[in-house]
């Protein structure tokens, strides 16, 4: 009997093709779409991977492939593990990445439990990353690489993962979808957080934070020299590196360089003030044997940033300090630092 694989089908083209490739490879494929939040609350009809249509698209693809498809409700667990943390982090003046926690807690934990219960030998997703011999690597299509979001996956889970599109380019993936006539072949890529389909994350905070929460209350905009130059309508509206929403009147462009929740201050400075030569990561997870002080690696601090060379200065079970060989720009607390050596993802942590 062919080995059974559970495929997490979001209703997008990548996971559709992941399922298709596994069917073609002879696996006994079971498709599942995770319902992660209440769609009725955010009715955005045409956004990919966000609307109810996505569940229906995933189902249509599964029907086309002749495999069973089920929708599983993860609303409570996703709300607890991902959305609540997202809100709490913004309330603390930080900039969270919910996708990292979704991968760590929901997709490669809760869904994996379902896969085990269904007698599946592996869990497959449409991620642009490569799971090979128990390790995770960057996707061959560097422009699409999503390994940055996977540093939080438990190491023992990796041998059970399949990433069929990770060794293909996006164009090749679309080509497979077109060849098979999948309804998702021409679907626009989703750039937004799934539960913030309009991109307006502040409305999610407004909905979930208590009235009068400090994060959404007015506060001063100050320069790095301590001079107040204006007022903002809530520090949660800002992230380190942001230019938008700041007062003008300066010869050089201004950027948010820090957020101080205790005084509600949003600190602005010049581009140079964004450069950092060291990074501290917490909530560590290792996908390889932990690095020791003095060892070298590369660290990537934003989803679209280039990884920079770094040396481990200190490391414990909870935190790692890295000295950078070249400056990293706009290192925002709450974002992720993913550690690599070449293409291999070694692990990572949350920027302190």
Nearer to another protein, 109 or 270 (CB): 109
Q: How many residues bind another protein (CB under 8 A)?
A: 21
Q: Is position 61 an interface residue for another protein (rule: CB under 8 A)?
A: no
Alpha-carbon distance of 144 to 233, in angstroms, equals 35
Nearer to another protein, 31 or 337 (CB): 31
Name the helix (H) or strand (E) containing 268. strand 265-269
Alpha-carbon distance of 246 to 256, in angstroms, equals 8
Cα angle 320, 192, 41 (rounded to 5 degrees) comes to: 115
Q: How many CB atoms lie within 10 A of CB 329?
A: 17
Phi-psi region of 306 (alpha: psi -120 to 50; beta: other; left: phi over 0): beta
Q: How far is the CB of 115 from another protein (least distance, A)?
A: 10
Residue 285: strand pairing partners? 348
> 């030998």: which residue's tokens?
121
- Interface residue with another protein among 44, 60, 64, 70 (CB under 8 A) is 70
Give the three-state DSSP class for 98: helix
- Quick one: which segment of 28-36, 174-182, 187-195, 326-334 binds another protein (CB under 8 A)? 28-36
Q: Is position 72 an interface residue for another protein (rule: CB under 8 A)?
A: yes
Q: Is position 56 an interface residue for another protein (rule: CB under 8 A)?
A: yes
DSSP, res 323? E
- Quick one: which segment of 70-78, 135-143, 266-274, 293-301 binds another protein (CB under 8 A)? 70-78
Q: How far is the CB of 120 from another protein (least distance, A)?
A: 10
Residue 316: strand pairing partners? none
Q: Which of residues 102-161 bind another protein (CB under 8 A)?
A: 105, 109-110, 113-114, 116-118
- Interface residue with another protein among 17, 22, 55, 216 (CB under 8 A) is 55
- Quick one: which segment of 55-63, 229-237, 238-246, 312-320 binds another protein (CB under 8 A)? 55-63
Kindly state the greatest CA–CA separation across the chain.
71
The verdict on whether 50 is a catalytic residue reads no
Alpha-carbon distance of 233 to 256, in angstroms, equals 14
**Which of 50, 120, 194, 297 is labelled catalytic?**
194
Nearer to another protein, 4 or 208 (CB): 4
Q: How far is the CB of 109 from another protein (least distance, A)?
A: 6
Cβ(284)–Cβ(317) under 8 Å?
yes
Q: Is position 52 an interface residue for another protein (rule: CB under 8 A)?
A: yes
> 């994060």: which residue's tokens?
215
Cβ(29)–Cβ(5) under 8 Å?
yes
Q: How far is the CB of 117 from another protein (least distance, A)?
A: 4
Q: Is position 314 an interface residue for another protein (rule: CB under 8 A)?
A: no
Q: Is position 25 an interface residue for another protein (rule: CB under 8 A)?
A: no
Nearer to another protein, 116 or 207 (CB): 116
Q: Is position 30 an interface residue for another protein (rule: CB under 8 A)?
A: yes
Q: Note the helical H segments in the chain.
A: 13-24, 52-65, 75-78, 84-91, 98-101, 111-117, 170-179, 201-208
Give the three-state DSSP class for 273: helix
Binding mask 229-258 for another protein (x = CB under 8 A): ------------------------------
DSSP, res 94? -
Nearer to another protein, 77 or 341 (CB): 77
Alpha-carbon distance of 241 to 254, in angstroms, equals 9
**Which of 99, 102, 120, 297 is labelled catalytic?**
102
**Residues forming the active site:** 102, 194
- Binding footprint of another protein on the chain (CB under 8 A): 30, 33, 35, 52, 55-56, 59, 68, 70-73, 77, 105, 109-110, 113-114, 116-118
């Amino acid at each position: 009997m062919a080995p059974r694989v559970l495929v997490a089908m979001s209703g997008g083209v990548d996971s559709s093709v992941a399922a298709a490739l596994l069917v073609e490879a002879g696996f006994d494929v079971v498709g599942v779409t995770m319902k992660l939040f209440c769609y009725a609350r955010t009715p955005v009809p045409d956004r990919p991977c966000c609307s109810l249509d996505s569940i229906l698209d995933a189902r249509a693809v599964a029907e086309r492939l002749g495999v069973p498809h089920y929708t599983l409700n993860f609303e409570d667990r996703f709300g607890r593990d991902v959305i609540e943390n997202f809100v709490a982090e913004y309330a603390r003046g930080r900039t969270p990445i919910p996708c990292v926690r979704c991968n760590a807690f929901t997709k490669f934990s809760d869904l994996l439990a379902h896969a085990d219960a269904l007698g599946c030998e592996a869990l497959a997703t449409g991620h642009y990353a490569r799971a090979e011999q128990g390790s995770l690597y960057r996707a061959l299509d560097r422009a699409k690489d999503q390994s940055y979001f996977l540093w939080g996956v438990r190491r023992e889970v990796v041998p059970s993962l399949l990433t069929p599109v990770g060794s293909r380019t996006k164009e090749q993936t679309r080509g497979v979808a077109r060849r098979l006539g999948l309804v998702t072949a021409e679907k626009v890529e989703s750039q937004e957080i799934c539960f913030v389909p309009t991109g307006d994350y502040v409305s999610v905070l407004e909905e979930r934070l208590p009235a009068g929460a400090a994060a959404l209350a007015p506060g001063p905009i100050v320069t790095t020299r301590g001079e107040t130059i204006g007022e903002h309508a809530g520090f949660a509206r800002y992230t380190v590196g942001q230019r938008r929403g700041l007062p003008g009147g300066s010869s050089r462009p201004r950027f948010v360089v820090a957020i101080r929740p205790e005084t509600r201050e949003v600190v602005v400075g010049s581009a140079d003030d964004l450069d950092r030569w060291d990074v501290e990561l917490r909530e560590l997870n290792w996908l390889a044997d932990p690095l020791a002080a003095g060892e070298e690696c590369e660290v990537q601090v934003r989803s679209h940033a280039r990884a920079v060379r770094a040396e481990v200065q200190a490391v414990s079970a909870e935190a790692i300090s890295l000295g950078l060989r070249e400056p990293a720009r706009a290192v925002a607390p709450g974002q992720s630092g993913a550690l690599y050596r070449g293409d291999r993802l070694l692990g990572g942590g949350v920027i302190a």
